[in-house]
Amino acid sequence: MSERKVDEETGVETTGHSWDGIEELNNPLPRWWLWTLYACIVWAIAYTVAYPAWPMISGATTGMLGFSTRAQVAEDIVQHEAKNEALVAELVAADLTTLPPSSDLHRYAVARGGSVFRAQCSQCHGSGAAGAVGYPNLLDNDWLWGGDIESISATITHGVRNETDLDARYSEMPAYGDIFAEEEIGAVVEYVTSLSSSEFDADLAQAGSELFLDNCAACHGDEGLGDQFLGAPNLADAIWLYGGDRDALTETVTNARFGVMPAWGQRLSDVDVRAVSVYVHALGGGE
Amino acid sequence: MSDRPLYAPQEPIFPRRVSGKFRNLKWVIMAVTLGIYYLTPWIRWDRGPNLPDQAVLVDMASRRFYFFWIEIWPHEFYFVAGLLIMAGLGLFLFTSALGRVWCGYTCPQTVWTDLFILVERWIEGDRNARLRLYRGKWDVRKWRLRITKWITWLFIAIATGGAWVFYFTDAPTLLRDLVTFSAHPVAYMTIAALTATTFLFGGFMREQVCIYMCPWPRIQAAMMDPDTITVAYREWRGEERGKKHENKSGDCIDCMACVNVCPMGIDIRDGQQMECITCALCIDACDDIMDKIGKPRGLIDYIALSDEPAERAGQPPAPILKKILRPRTIIYTTIWAAIGIALLYALFVRSDIELTVSPVRNPTYVLQSDGAVRNIYDVRLRNKAGEDRVFHISLTSEEILRIELEGRDGQRNLVVPADTTILQRVYVTARPQDPAASTDTTALRLWVEDVDADIRASQATTFNGRDE
């Protein structure tokens, strides 16, 4: 087909293609567009040779430049650690009790501690640090083992009731199911309820108060206010670790509780323990 | 089929020099726009010791945009978005009223191509000389002229790419770093990329950019209608065209002046076409010829298509104002002005201090040991001033709810450094007997006040009680 055909309406040459009598006009594309396409193809091939690209059976081709996003992240981390070196050294040496809250070091500690917390602590204490049944809420002003920065730091470093750290916070309540009769447990529960609530059976509580003074007051105190040195909870306030209704209290008195926390001093670096201590202290309940 | 090329080589265009009122206007616009582009980064503006003293600066690293007395923070980016919308609507307005005036006079592609052609004409001569050179052999003279031209273009291209980076950091410092080869690689890469595009687009691609790369010529058809004033040929006056001795009835003597000056390489006498950027150089060229042959000017002119019937009938065209003022342009102008007024309003009422409150909702509330209920708020305090300020935080309905700031030892005043946002954890507590402690949600408002100046800002939020 060498005969040229021109569309009468537009004066444009046709390609010779015709569908149902409609002919395709040939408005030629500039040649440099074609070269651009070829250049893109060459670029694409070069790119797949230079960079990781082709999926293989085990992993993808690595590319001649040896680039990998994983290595880039590792490099970024090294760079950030180098940048933070001075702050880290300062935090390790700092006296946390006198660290000014508006200082750069304090902000760094809170930011670093926050990320440690979300990675290591949030599984039990929750991402917002609000805790759960059996796992203390770290936002409130009730502390089992003390809420000043040194106590918090010691709890985090050594943990609670674990077997790996000899300095772990340790206290154990006896299971009174073996010691008390069922009605005695009911009486003690009623007395404990009376410490923080106005709805209780006065006679039963009276009976329970004597049992309490003889058996419980040694740790929880005569008024049930607890003892942070022994890790004995305050029974007269509004906060309950395992629930404050009669069923939960009966369960606690009968079988006792034994919450455990790892010794983070053995798992985290010194600076991370310090940072997470500052973070927890700054959550709202710090003393 | 095999002998029909699907791809066409670029036809070289050699626009002839022209003079006239539109050419003069284009020279002025070129001088002004290039002047603005190259010189703006060098204008200094004193903002005090803590802030940069460059009048126009896009400070990516510190996330600030400075424009003379205006400073825009990232959360105020709607100003930029608003300006972009205004730019778009402005383009619609001008296109519907005056056709492609943007393309013909102010588009960077047009301005730089014009500049490159000016250089080309200085070095290689006008149209005929350039045509001869193009067709001639690659001898010493041709090489010399070509290389001189390319080097001159390259310097303009480097200056163009170079000027761009000065908008993003302190210009004098960057210039010193650039010449001592101590600037950031990104600066050199940006200059290299923009140098390459300027050199290529202005020197070689030229009209190809407008015809094949730019989307605007394709969109413009939707903006134009028969009342749009655009560059057109008065065919009813010009035809039959012919040389003087041919004794044709039309005014067009087919001298090709309009075609020879056209930077797009088209013939305006073929009617409106996508390639035409309405630069009006053909008007200048034709008017010059009409003067010489003693015919009235305006064979090629700014006219609207709707003028044709009246003109054919020998009547005067409708007044220009009547063509410009029509519902479409009035609507565009109204929307454009409304956005402009809204932006100005937002600019003048915005405060130097700001706060944003994000209530901590994990958990929704914290029960204290005495039965009190506490809510936590992450409050961002912004000091947009150039000096440190002391802010006081307060709360409406303080008789019910108490407010405390984390780590401030009971203080409610705090220093926010110049040009800085700080994050402050704020506690609001309702005592057990307060209604808010047992109400599902209570409305409250947090206030921040500059204690030295009488400026306040506030944000409403809610307080969550015990969910029982």
Q: Please give the order of strands across the beta sheet that includes B64-67.
A: B56-59, B64-67, B70-72
> pLDDT, tens digit, for every residue of A67-111?
999 999 999 999 999 999 999 999 999 999 999 887 899 999 999
pLDDT tens-digit profile, chain B (468 residues): 446 677 888 889 999 999 999 999 999 999 999 999 999 999 999 988 888 999 999 999 889 999 999 999 998 999 999 999 999 999 999 999 999 999 999 999 999 999 999 999 999 999 999 999 999 999 999 999 999 999 999 999 999 999 999 999 999 999 999 999 999 999 999 999 999 999 999 999 999 999 999 999 888 888 899 999 999 999 999 988 888 778 788 899 999 999 999 999 999 999 888 899 999 999 999 999 999 999 999 999 999 999 888 888 888 888 888 889 999 999 999 999 999 999 999 999 888 899 999 999 999 999 999 999 999 999 999 998 888 999 999 998 766 788 999 988 888 999 999 889 999 999 999 999 998 999 999 999 999 999 888 889 999 999 999 876
Chain A residues with CB inside 8 Å of B8's CB?
28-31
Tokens (6 digits) for B4:
């029909």
Of the candidate ranges A244-253, A274-283, B280-289, B416-425, the one whose mean pLDDT is the lowest: B416-425
Cβ atoms within 10 A of the Cβ of A270, count?
12
Instruction: State whether B82 and B198 are in the same domain.
Output: yes
Closest by Cβ to B4, choosing from A15, A101, A106 = A15
Instruction: State whether B158 and B243 are in the same domain.
Output: no
Question: What are the residues facing A169 on neighbouring strands?
Answer: A160
Give the orientation angle of helix B185-200 with respect to helix B171-179, to 10 degrees. 90
> pLDDT, tens digit, for every residue of A196-212?
988 899 999 999 999 99
CA distance B129 to chain A (A): 26
In a domain, B335, yes or no: no
Residues in CB range of B249: below 8 A, 6 or more apart: B239, B240
> pLDDT, tens digit, for every residue of A103-139?
899 999 999 999 999 999 999 999 999 999 999 999 9
- Which residue, chain included where needed, has tokens 């004193």? B46
Closest by Cβ to B3, choosing from A2, A34, A284 = A2
pLDDT at A82: 96
Instruction: State whether B207 and B237 are in the same domain.
Output: no
Last residue of a domain, which of B176, B199, B221? B221
A284 and B366 within 8 Å at the Cβ level: the answer is: yes
Tokens (6 digits) for B154:
């390259």
> What is d(CA B214, CA B100) in angstroms, rounded to the nearest whole number?
13
Chain B residues with CB inside 8 Å of A284's CB?
366, 374, 376, 406, 425, 427
Instruction: State whether B212 and B238 are in the same domain.
Output: no
Instruction: State whether B209 and B257 are in the same domain.
Output: no
pLDDT at B1: 43
CA distance B220 to chain A (A): 20
B249 or A56, greater pLDDT: A56
> What is d(CA A155, CA A263) in angstroms, rounded to the nearest whole number?
8
Which amino acids of A are annotated as binding site for heme c, given as ranges?
121, 124-125, 173, 216, 219-220, 261
Instruction: State whether B171 and B260 are in the same domain.
Output: no
In a domain, B331, yes or no: no
CA distance B271 to chain A (A): 13
Domains in chain A with CATH codes = 1-67 (no CATH), 71-167+261-281 (1.10.760.10), 182-255 (1.10.760.10)
Q: Are A181 and A166 in contact (CB under 8 A)?
A: no
CA distance B40 to chain A (A): 35
pLDDT at B20: 94
> What is d(CA A261, CA B322) in angstroms, rounded to the nearest whole number?
84
Chain A residues with CB inside 8 Å of B368's CB?
140-142, 238-239
Residue B321 half-sphere exposure toward CB, CA atoms < 13 A: 0
In a domain, B407, yes or no: yes
Residue B3 half-sphere exposure toward CB, CA atoms < 13 A: 5
Q: Are B18 and B354 in contact (CB under 8 A)?
A: no
In a domain, B343, yes or no: no
A128 and B362 within 8 Å at the Cβ level: the answer is: yes
CA distance B101 to chain A (A): 26
Closest by Cβ to A33, choosing from B212, B363, B370 = B212
Under the banding of pLDDT at 50, 70 and 90, the label for residue A1 is very low
- Best probe of the B interface among A4, A12, A17, A31, by most B CBs < 10 A, is A31
User: CA nearest B379: which of B441, B421, B430, B413?
Assistant: B421
Strands B7-8 and A29-30: parallel
CATH number at residue B384: 2.60.40.10
Q: How many domains does chain B have?
A: 3
Instruction: State whether B86 and B179 are in the same domain.
Output: yes
Tokens (6 digits) for B113:
């191509």
Q: Give the domain range for residue B421.
A: 353-464
> What is d(CA A107, CA B454) in angstroms, rounded to the nearest whole number?
30
pLDDT at B399: 64
In a domain, B137, yes or no: yes
Last residue of a domain, which of B325, B342, B377? B325
A282 and B425 within 8 Å at the Cβ level: the answer is: yes
Chain A residues with CB inside 8 Å of B3's CB?
2
Under the banding of pLDDT at 50, 70 and 90, the label for residue A5 is confident
CA distance B205 to chain A (A): 10
DSSP state of B10: P
pLDDT at B398: 62
DSSP state of B12: P
Instruction: Classify residue A169 as exposed, middle or buried by CB count within 10 Å of its CB (0-12, 13-18, 19+).
Output: buried
Tokens (6 digits) for B382:
């912004």
Residues from B contacting A (CB-CB < 8 Å) are 1-10, 205, 208, 212, 360, 362-363, 366-371, 374, 376, 406-408, 414-415, 425, 427, 432
Question: What are the residues facing A22 on neighbouring strands?
Answer: A19
- Best probe of the A interface among B275, B366, B425, by most A CBs < 10 A, is B366
CA distance A6 to chain B (A): 12
Q: Is this complex scored with an ipTM above 0.90?
A: no
DSSP state of B47: -
Q: Are B263 and B13 in contact (CB under 8 A)?
A: yes
> What is d(CA A252, CA A175) in angstroms, rounded to the nearest whole number?
8
Q: Are A83 and A75 in contact (CB under 8 A)?
A: no
Instruction: State whether B31 and B95 are in the same domain.
Output: yes
Closest by Cβ to A102, choosing from B6, B362, B407 = B407
Instruction: State whether B217 and B79 are in the same domain.
Output: yes
B6 and A26 within 8 Å at the Cβ level: the answer is: yes
Phi then psi for A85, rounded to 5 degrees?
-50, -45
Under the banding of pLDDT at 50, 70 and 90, the label for residue A3 is low
A2 and B368 within 8 Å at the Cβ level: the answer is: no
Strands B389-395 and B413-416: antiparallel
- Best probe of the A interface among B270, B367, B414, B424, by most A CBs < 10 A, is B367
Residue range A219-247: average pLDDT? 94
DSSP state of B209: I
User: CA nearest B86: which of B273, B334, B278?
Assistant: B334
> What is d(CA A96, CA A89) in angstroms, rounded to the nearest whole number?
13
Tokens (6 digits) for B460:
């409403």
A28 and B5 within 8 Å at the Cβ level: the answer is: yes
Under the banding of pLDDT at 50, 70 and 90, the label for residue A220 is very high
Residue B15 half-sphere exposure toward CB, CA atoms < 13 A: 26
CA distance A79 to chain B (A): 18
Chain A residues with CB inside 8 Å of B7's CB?
28-31, 33-34
Instruction: State whether B210 and B182 are in the same domain.
Output: yes
- Best probe of the B interface among A24, A139, A149, by most B CBs < 10 A, is A139
Instruction: State whether B210 and B313 are in the same domain.
Output: no
Instruction: State whether B272 and B383 are in the same domain.
Output: no
Question: What are the residues facing B56 on neighbouring strands?
Answer: B67
> What is d(CA A130, CA A121) in angstroms, rounded to the nearest whole number?
11
Cis peptide before B124 (omega within 30 of 0): no
Chain B residues with CB inside 8 Å of A130's CB?
362-363, 366
A13 and B406 within 8 Å at the Cβ level: the answer is: no
Last residue of a domain, which of B307, B325, B343? B325
Is residue B456 within a helix (H) or strand (E), and if so which, with residue range?
strand B455-464
> What is d(CA A178, CA A166) in angstroms, rounded to the nearest whole number?
28
| 3 state DSSP class of A83 | helix
Q: Are B35 and B404 in contact (CB under 8 A)?
A: no
pLDDT at B4: 64
Q: Are B229 and B302 in contact (CB under 8 A)?
A: yes
Strands (E), B93-239: 229-233
pLDDT at B386: 83
Counted across chains A and B, CB pairs separated by less than 8 A come out at 92
Q: Are B389 and B452 in contact (CB under 8 A)?
A: yes
> What is d(CA B1, CA B410) in angstroms, rounded to the nearest whole number?
88
> What is d(CA A168, CA A161) in angstroms, rounded to the nearest whole number?
6
- Mean pLDDT for chain A overall: 93
Question: What are the residues facing A246 on neighbouring strands?
Answer: none
Closest by Cβ to A284, choosing from B3, B8, B427 = B427
